[in-house]
Amino acid sequence: MTSLPDWLSVQRGRAPLIISFPHTGTVLPDGLAERFVSPWLARRDADWWVDQLYDFATALGASTVRTAISRSVIDVNRDPSGVSLYPGQNTTGLCPLTTFDAQPLYRRGAEPDAEEIQARRTRWFAPYHAALETEIARLRAQHPAIVVYDAHSIRSRIPHLFEGELPQFNIGSAGATGAVDTSCAPVLTDAVERVCAGSGYSHVRNGRFKGGWSTRHHGAPADGVHAIQMELACRGYMHEPDTVNQSNWPSPWQPDYAAPLRALLQQVLQACLDFANSSAAPARAGH
């Protein structure tokens, strides 16, 4: 593997499982930080502590790919063309101009133009997905089927994005609610859903979050590459205040508080491995 930029980390394992961390980064590169309304606001919507929540994955033999760059700089889980992944719904873009709560991210006049957005794609978006593609190709050459697991979290209540309280487990396989999965074989989604359904926590399959660019782009079930997204409500592993502000968010990483959900996620990843290792792993999506 060629040398990687310092903001991109790849840990290589031998198991047929890749964990992608597109939103755990908080780095605001020099020259950009001062253009945001505040550094805290530019980092607020990160997937806080998710890489630590899943740090057991390497012991399972999984590979990991992570960017340290804040999603406010460029969101590597968005369509690079700028087309919305959720037409008709409120969302944020490739280089977001607002927070999840529709607050402006940039100082007036400091927003990136089309040329700068393209430069950010070249500098940060393309290398991230090239690293994912390299790992997919490496592991697919060794295994009949592999799983690309996109790991996320989000605050439980964000009225601008969705109504009410988000379920604890939000499983995305690029399908409509109750419809056929397209980014992975339904057998995989079924296995993950069984763990979530038996946990005592709430869950949904292809609800508000059906999978972002990584799931939809890299998932190729007919070629043995099965991609699935897990969006966690933050409340399951960190203290989540009713109203977040600079004094209380993010709440600290507390391993003991996160332990019960972490144990369930170990079962989820084991279900992914069992699927990939099964000689009966189907090559095509659909029933």
Domains of the chain with CATH codes: 8-277 (3.40.630.40)
159-168, 171-180, 189-198: segment of lowest average pLDDT: 171-180
Q: What is the mean pLDDT of residues 6-16?
A: 98
Q: Tell me the average pLDDT across 91-99.
A: 87
Q: Which pLDDT belongs to residue 63?
A: 98
Mean pLDDT across the chain:
92
Q: What is the CB-side half-sphere exposure of residue 246 using CA atoms within 13 A?
A: 5
Tell me which of 248 and 179 has the higher pLDDT.
Answer: 248
CA dihedral 68, 73, 75, 81 (to 10 degrees): -140
Query: Across residues 115-138, what is the average pLDDT?
Result: 97
pLDDT score, position 162: 83
Higher pLDDT, 286 or 31: 31
243 or 208, which is more confident: 243
